[in-house]
Chains A and B, each alone.
Chain A
């Protein structure tokens, strides 16, 4: 597979990195602008400007090119969004397929039931395993073990990385058996599946999944020994919520500030908008009356003189593993609850550095849940329900590995897509990530430049951003004079 040539980034402030051994105190005015982020998916960089011990600017500049998916979906058939949107991401294609199908099926007035619905939850478990394993072992764990790359980690801890790859492979195999292939699966369709797997095909996955559950638990125990820097995010958490079951492929939207709404009301409470420094839209949470709900921002001067401006709500919020865990921990699978107890993880967890623990617990959950579904699976008489096109608007929300993924489609009576809206988790998290970054810098201003730079990069990596997902959209205004 040919990797695309990275584009020239549009935002490239000059890099002024002082020597690591410089004995002088940090200057009053400085810019932290490391090279593009490593060990994240996609292309972006950080720019932090500090003046007189006050953080003037903390930006996650995403220069990954916009990809215009919402535009190219217009005019396509209602049967196509699942396959087209899967191409938004090579790591979480199932998430796009499931959110698209939920939205389209709501227009068609059909509800997929078991066993086809169980297969959707099972293939999603596979994606959670492979995506979380990728992040935990190859992107995040190096930060805690003092190495710069997965290769260095593999040299220092070969057995750990080997087991991590086995864990990832177990997830990929679920996606291959049910979805047809592990990258951009091809078997999902409106109403169910093109082909239902044989029970023997699923049963053959059991040994690898039992091993995956054990590896994930063992990894959680290992990760619990890491040194976690102090950090705390105040932003409201947003996730699907479905009492009795840890939500993956369905549920209502809930927040830690008390909101509990169906996916249809997503647009009444979450607004997207563009910022000049990012090709990915930002999102803000409101209470339904246009008032922001989010992290309190105190704009008073750092020297305490104050200008009387009261704190305001920025509208930022966070979705993803921390949010899911905060809102749904009681409904983790039994093995996952045991793992959480064993490592002293309790909900809510608001330190993003400890998100690696939550991802480990979710991998245990996914493996346990996958085994439960496989053991109860019976082959359906028909792999899919019939689906006829209708005019209407449909909404779909599922939990991608990185968080809430929302789709909305409007079709005409022939099923032609008239309008599409896709809101990925990394997009939604940008504002909260930047606030997290700002606070991290404010608390560590006395660190040397290299150490502060490393901390900033870690702060973003904690959130496992998927930048290709976040840049799926850009509005293009053409003015001709």
Chain B
């Protein structure tokens, strides 16, 4: 009998009704619809609310998180960061759009920092941030972001299969 398969979770964050902010959610929907991840991979659409994220991370060995963000790069740029639990604050590895705190709600950045301080991060967490361009309510993702969605979907499919 071989070693047990690691528990893997892919989390898409975003608002599907707000243009490029749908990126994270659309990635996980593409992964789920075509069965592109290994069997047993948990695929989640999430609002980014921190207590929920921390609860998901507590029960997985490896997680991928995809969210749209605004940072100093052209729309559609993909920023990838790998956070290894116990190796310090994750904030430095993130683009500003994910790192920054909102005055209206707790978000992904808060979850990462709290998770790091409380040792609640998964052993390995891969963050994909897709540079958003158009956040118009009701709009479809812009062309560069739509291309980035396909790229990130393919990369996560490959990474989850390699680790399974």
Contacts and interface: CB of A to CB of B under 8 A. Distances in A.
Interface of A: 1-4, 6, 36, 40-43, 90-91, 134, 138, 150-151, 154-155, 158, 161-162, 165-166, 168-169, 172, 181-183, 467-468
Contact of B118 (A2, A134, A161): A161
A154 B114 contact: yes
A182 B50 CA distance: 12
A7 B120 CA distance: 34
Contact of B21 (A1, A91, A162): A1
A41 B21 contact: no
B54 A165 contact: yes
B95 to A, nearest CB: 12
B103 A6 contact: yes
Given A1-B15, A151-B114, A169 B100 contact: no
Contacts of A165: 50-51, 54, 114, 118
B52 A3 contact: no
Contacts of B105: 1, 3, 90-91, 183
B48 A1 contact: yes
Interface string B1-32: 00000000000011100100100000000000
Interface of B: 13-15, 18, 21, 47-52, 54-55, 67-70, 97, 100-108, 110, 113-114, 117-120, 132, 135
Given A2-B70, A6-B103, A43-B103, A169 B51 contact: yes
B149 to A, nearest CB: 16
**Shortest 7 CB-CB distances between A and B: which pairs?**
A3-B102, A169-B51, A154-B117, A90-B105, A183-B47, A1-B48, A168-B51
B107 A182 contact: no
Contact of A183 (B49, B54, B55, B135): B49
A468 B102 CA distance: 12
Contacts of B15: 1-2
Contacts of B114: 150-151, 154, 161, 165
11 contacts: A1-B14, A1-B47, A2-B15, A2-B21, A3-B104, A40-B103, A43-B103, A91-B105, A154-B117, A162-B118, A165-B51
A155 B119 CA distance: 10
A169 B118 contact: no
B107 A172 contact: no
A303 to B, nearest CB: 41
A182 B52 contact: yes
Contacts of A91: 105
B97 to A, nearest CB: 7
A151 B50 CA distance: 13
Contact of B103 (A42, A158, A162, A169): A42
Given A42-B103, A161-B118, A181-B47, A2 B113 contact: no
Contacts of A40: 103
A36 B132 CA distance: 28
Tell which of B18, B49, B51, B54 has the most Cβ of chain A within 10 Å. B51
A468 B103 CA distance: 9
Given A151-B113, A154-B117, A182-B47, A42 B104 contact: yes
A481 to B, nearest CB: 34
B68 A41 contact: no
Contact of A172 (B51, B70, B120): B51
Contacts of B102: 3-4
B13 A138 contact: no
Tell which of B21, B101, B106, B108 has the most Cβ of chain A within 10 Å. B106
A91 B107 CA distance: 12
Tell which of A40, A151, A181, A182 has the most Cβ of chain B within 10 Å. A151
B93 to A, nearest CB: 16
B13 to A, nearest CB: 7
B132 to A, nearest CB: 7
B47 A3 contact: no
A154 B51 CA distance: 14
A357 B142 CA distance: 49
Contacts of A4: 102, 104
B109 to A, nearest CB: 9
Contacts of B55: 169
